[in-house]
């Protein structure tokens, strides 16, 4: 299937407070963010025209920017309103939303205190992120909290994710399993990870990577079901003994992991239940807003 370049599509992108035709949403080649990764972004999904946990995502964008040393020129309520307007302007219902904020082109060098801050919001149709997900160990580890701003959804932190995912795909896998700086299980390149052993769900402590909004939602759903859930350090070898493994994320939603290298896993009852519960929650939220 031929790729449709993301810079050559019909539609509208919200850019710095106004809508511009999709193909005209440009930035200069000497923008600081392009050279020094001074950018943050969000990933959101709309169901029936309603973005799930929109305000939480908008707040995280603002918080990520502050971690990166800059203030957005728009508040959370303004970002919420712009997101809703972008979905309506493009006539979409079920879609993916990508807000992004970056430092502009006023300064070129490591320092960028006087660079302008730009914000854009794009929306497009995007189906399932994973299919038949199989993982293999990543070629890079997640950085320590003392080495990078790990609690910001910062663009620069995804460089090693791209490299690790490319290496995994070259071996025939769907994604890479990333460890933290001490060799414990962290996440995939774009989703949080859970394993089920017996009647208990285990997931890594989110103090060394982004504590995903979908992750938090699925944990709440598990607790509502009375399912035991533990956050702890997990050694990679423990995954071989798991009964089920699944991942969560805005793009991934809730997706079963079918294999890690040559260890296979079924689509088990816990994963299936949480997939159904999450699907029901997103649709119910959209229906409530519509009503």
Could you report the per-residue pLDDT of 9-49, keeping only the tens digit for each?
999 999 999 999 999 999 999 999 999 999 999 999 999 99
pTM for the full predicted model: 0.95
Catalytic: 165?
A: no
Q: What is the second-level CATH architecture of the domain 133-284? A: Alpha-Beta Barrel (3.20)
Q: What is the arithmetic mean of pLDDT over 269-287?
A: 93
Taking the domains of the chain in order of start, what are their residue ranges? 12-124, 133-284
| DSSP symbols for the chain | -----TTS-SSEEEETTEEEEGGG----TT-HHHHH--EEE--EEEETTEETTHHHHHHHHHHHHHHTT---SS-HHHHHHHHHHHHHHTT-SSEEEEEEEEE-SS--SS--TT--EEEEEEEE----S-SSEEEEE-SSPPPPTTTS-TTS-BGGGGHHHHHHHHHHHHTT-SEEEEE-TTS-EEEESSSEEEEEETTEEEEE-TTSS---HHHHHHHHHHHHTT--EEEE---GGGGGG-SEEEEEETTTEEEEEEEETTEE----HHHHHHHHHHHHHHHHHHHHHH-
Could you report the per-residue pLDDT of 67-95, keeping only the tens digit for each?
999 999 999 999 999 999 999 999 999 99
pLDDT at 124: 97
High-pLDDT (> 90) share of the chain, %: 93
Classify domain 12-124 at the CATH class level. alpha beta
Q: Which of the residues 53, 153, 165, 197 is marked catalytic?
A: 153
pLDDT at 226: 98
């Amino acid at each position: 299937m031929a790729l449709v370049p993301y810079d050559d599509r019909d539609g509208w992108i919200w850019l710095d407070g106004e809508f511009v035709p999709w193909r005209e949403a440009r930035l200069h080649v000497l923008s600081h963010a392009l050279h020094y990764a001074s950018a943050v972004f969000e990933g959101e999904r709309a169901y029936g025209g309603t973005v799930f946990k929109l305000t939480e995502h908008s707040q995280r964008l603002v918080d990520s920017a502050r971690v990166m040393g800059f203030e957005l020129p728009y508040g959370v309520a303004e970002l919420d309103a712009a997101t809703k307007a972008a979905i309506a302007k493009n006539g979409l219902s079920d879609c993916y939303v990508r807000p992004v904020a970056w430092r502009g082109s006023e300064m070129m060098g490591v320092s960028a205190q006087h660079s302008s801050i730009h914000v854009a919001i794009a929306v497009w149709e995007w189906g399932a992120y994973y299919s038949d997900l199989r993982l293999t160990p990543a070629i890079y580890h997640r950085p320590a909290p003392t080495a990078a701003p790990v609690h910001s959804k910062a663009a620069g932190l995804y460089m090693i994710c791209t490299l690790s995912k490319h290496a995994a795909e070259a071996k025939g896998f769907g994604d890479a399993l990333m460890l933290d700086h001490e060799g414990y299980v962290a996440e995939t390149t774009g989703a949080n990870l859970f394993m089920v052993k017996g009647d208990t769900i285990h997931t890594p402590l989110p103090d060394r990577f982004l504590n995903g909004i979908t992750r938090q939602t699925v944990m709440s759903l598990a607790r509502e079901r009375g399912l035991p859930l533990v956050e702890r350090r997990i050694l990679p070898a423990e995954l071989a003994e798991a009964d089920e493994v699944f991942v969560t994320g805005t793009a991934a939603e809730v997706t079963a992991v079918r294999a890690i290298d040559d260890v296979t896993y079924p689509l088990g009852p816990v994963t299936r239940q949480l997939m159904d519960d999450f699907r029901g929650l997103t649709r119910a939220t959209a229906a409530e807003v519509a009503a």
